[in-house]
Amino acid sequence: MNQPFFITFEGIDGAGKSTHIDALAAAFRAAGRSVTLTREPGGTPLAEKLRAIVLADPMDALTEALLIFAARRDHLQQVIEPALAKGDVVICDRFTDATFAYQGGGRGFDLEILSTLERWVQQTSVAPGDGIRQPDLTLWFDLATDIAAARLAGTRVPDRFEAQPVAFFEQVRAGYARRMALDPDRFARIDAGQGREAVWASVRAAIPSGYLTS
Ligand code: TYD
């Protein structure tokens, strides 16, 4: 099993992706795979600068979407595509589903424009199918918004997204559900309200058989 494999983690803030991202990377490495672990917005020096701006500076929704897709373009070109080309497992903390959920759902930004940007930014001659790079598997950590808000409360100074009210995260969550409905085979919905061990079992169960054994 040395085919490239592109996995993304998604969910509202407070859904609890982080520890499972690290555990999954470790599990793939234990199975002998080379893993590129990265995140969005970010993952390159330029994209990390754009991340800092997007998370802190006030801006309108189109500016926000353009900066996020600019960061994504650089990240794809510099990190994700080269890693997939050498057969890595690429694990990315958030990707374009977050843009449809946060900018599309949360901010109410035009989904057609997001789809256009998605096609421009993710176009590559080496992606299978229609030539638009998409994850092979997306693990959507789904959690009720009040539980996520309670988990986040008091943990750190909130960024521009974490500071949003629960109603915003209801829209984000609905945005994720819509994305999953459009491409159900790519998604695994993880019930993030379970205990940590049960969540981890769900994550492992979502990985196709053979990938986690050496
Ligand atoms: P997150 O991934 O939760 O990182 P951390 O755990 O360090 O806070 O933070 C990134 C934030 O950016 C998150 O609130 C969601 C937001 N975001 C968007 O709004 N659109 C996007 O396309 C992406 C990738 C993230």
Angle among Cα 44, 45, 51 to the nearest 5 degrees reads 80
Ligand 1 atom closest to the CA of 40, numbered from 1: 24
Q: For a substitution probing ligand 1, which of 17, 74, 94, 179 has the most ligand atoms within 8 Å of its CB?
A: 94
pLDDT interval class at 208 (50, 70, 90): very high
Question: Contact, 150 vs 136, CB < 8 A?
Answer: no
Ligand 1 atom closest to the CA of 17, numbered from 1: 6
Q: Is the pLDDT of residue 61 over 90?
A: yes
Residue 147 lies in a domain: yes
Q: Can you give the pLDDT at residue 144?
A: 98
Residue 130 lies in a domain: yes
pTM strictly above 0.95: yes
* 128 Cα to the center of ligand 1, angstroms: 27
Domain with 55, as residue range(s), is 5-206
Residue 144 lies in a domain: yes
Residue 213 lies in a domain: no
pLDDT, tens digit (0-9, with 9 covering 90-100), for 108-157 = 999 999 999 999 999 999 998 889 999 999 999 999 999 999 999 888 89
Ligand 1 atom closest to the CA of 102, numbered from 1: 19
Q: Can you give the pLDDT at residue 155?
A: 82
- What residue ranges line ligand 1, CB within 6 angstroms? 13, 40-41, 68, 93-94, 98-99, 102-103, 161-162
Residue 211 lies in a domain: no
Q: Which CATH number covers residue 142? A: 3.40.50.300
Q: Can you give the pLDDT at residue 154?
A: 80
Average pLDDT over residues 34-58: 98
Residue 151 lies in a domain: yes
Residue 90 lies in a domain: yes
* 21 Cα to the center of ligand 1, angstroms: 14
Q: Can you give the pLDDT at residue 129?
A: 85
In angstroms, the CA 188 to CA 136 distance is 11
Tell me the three state secondary structure of residue 158: coil
* 190 Cα to the center of ligand 1, angstroms: 18
Residue 131 to residues 68, 70, 122: CA-CA distances in angstroms? 21, 19, 8
In angstroms, the CA 135 to CA 146 distance is 29
In angstroms, the CA 44 to CA 38 distance is 9
Give how many domains the chain has, as a whole number.
1
Q: Is the pLDDT of residue 1 over 80?
A: no
* 99 Cα to the center of ligand 1, angstroms: 9
pLDDT interval class at 54 (50, 70, 90): very high
In angstroms, the CA 109 to CA 130 distance is 25
Q: Is the pLDDT of residue 209 over 70?
A: yes
pLDDT, tens digit (0-9, with 9 covering 90-100), for 163-183 = 999 999 999 999 999 999 999
Query: Which region among 94-98, 152-156, 193-197 has the lowest average model confidence (pLDDT)?
Result: 152-156
- Average pLDDT over the chain reads 96
Ligand 1 atom closest to the CA of 161, numbered from 1: 14
In angstroms, the CA 81 to CA 39 distance is 14
Q: Is the pLDDT of residue 2 over 90?
A: no
- Whose tokens are 């754009």? That residue is 50
Residue 192 lies in a domain: yes
Bridge partners of 9, per DSSP, are 93, 139
